Amino acid sequence: MSSMSRRQLMFAATGIAAVAAAPRLVFAQAAAPAPAAAPTGPFTLPPLAYPTNAFEPHIDAKTMEIHHGKHHAAYVANLNNVAKTNAQLGTAKIEDVLGNLNALDDSIKFTVRNNLGGHANHTMFWEIMAPNGGKPEGDVLAAIDRDLGGMEKFQNDFNAAGGRQFGSGWVFVTVAKDGKLAIETRPNQDSPIMDGKRALMGNDVWEHAYYLNYQNRRADYLKAWWNTVNWAKIAERYAAAKAGTLGV
Ligand code: MN3
């Protein structure tokens, strides 16, 4: 290729780019101000391992889209904003930060508690759900029988605890290092990790998790949610908890 033809090609490519870019600029000026681009940073929204309609009719696709793509995404964006001026937040392990919130500067403690708690809780939540998630078996089932009175009592008690949580919050099964399970609730986006524990699994009882489909019928959502539980993943998390390697 001669240098002349290369210059001509470069010119042509530049011309194409300029023509392609011009209408976009005009459009951007004419439209309402675009929201600031989501800050890129150390925190990322974990992609769902299933389509948003995977849990119909138990959880509707629109709720999944908004819950993951707006609510969880907002926690991630807020964390990336904080990390701009607090770089260590983005490099520390999430469970180490949540387990020692008092080490944080007062100016960011509240924001980190809510948004990193929310990020941890939702990351767990998407992970422990799956279509056709099977049944509990093996060690997890044995622990449920031993500590929670068997599956039927466990599900009834878990649903009752989720129903009693006043306002926004979560109902969890916490797991101790010795494998002992307990049902515990937390308000807002608090996590058992904040108390040095781990969440084996949990259900989100914020209204944003169910209101489009269930409105005030939280109890119906709590019952239906069991159809979405990924027992193979929970078995993995249980083994990791006993090995001391379970994070969020
Ligand atoms: Mn939520």
Residue 175 placed within a domain: yes
List the strands of the sheet with 169-175, edge to edge. Answer: 181-187, 169-175, 198-204
pLDDT, tens digit, for every residue of 121-160? Answer: 999 999 999 999 999 999 999 999 999 999 999 999 999 9
Residue 96 placed within a domain: yes
CA–centroid distance, 161 to ligand 1, in Å, is 17
Residue 160 placed within a domain: yes
pTM here? 0.84
DSSP reduced 3-state for 228: helix
- Which range is least confidently modeled, 1-5, 171-175, 198-202, 229-233? 1-5
Residue 206 placed within a domain: yes
Q: What local confidence, expressed as pLDDT, does residue 10 receive?
A: 41
Q: What local confidence, expressed as pLDDT, does residue 28 receive?
A: 41
Residue 46 placed within a domain: no
CA–centroid distance, 141 to ligand 1, in Å, is 27
Closest CA to 71 of 114, 127, 131: 114
Total structural domains within the chain: 1
> Range of 108's domain?
60-248
CA–centroid distance, 131 to ligand 1, in Å, is 19
Residue 92 placed within a domain: yes
Residue 2 placed within a domain: no
User: Do β-strands 181-187 and 169-175 pair in parallel, antiparallel, or remain unpaired?
Assistant: antiparallel
Location of structure tokens 């466990």 = 154
CATH code of residue 203: 3.55.40.20
CA–centroid distance, 109 to ligand 1, in Å, is 20
Residue 17 placed within a domain: no
Which helix (H) or strand (E) covers residue 209, if one does? none
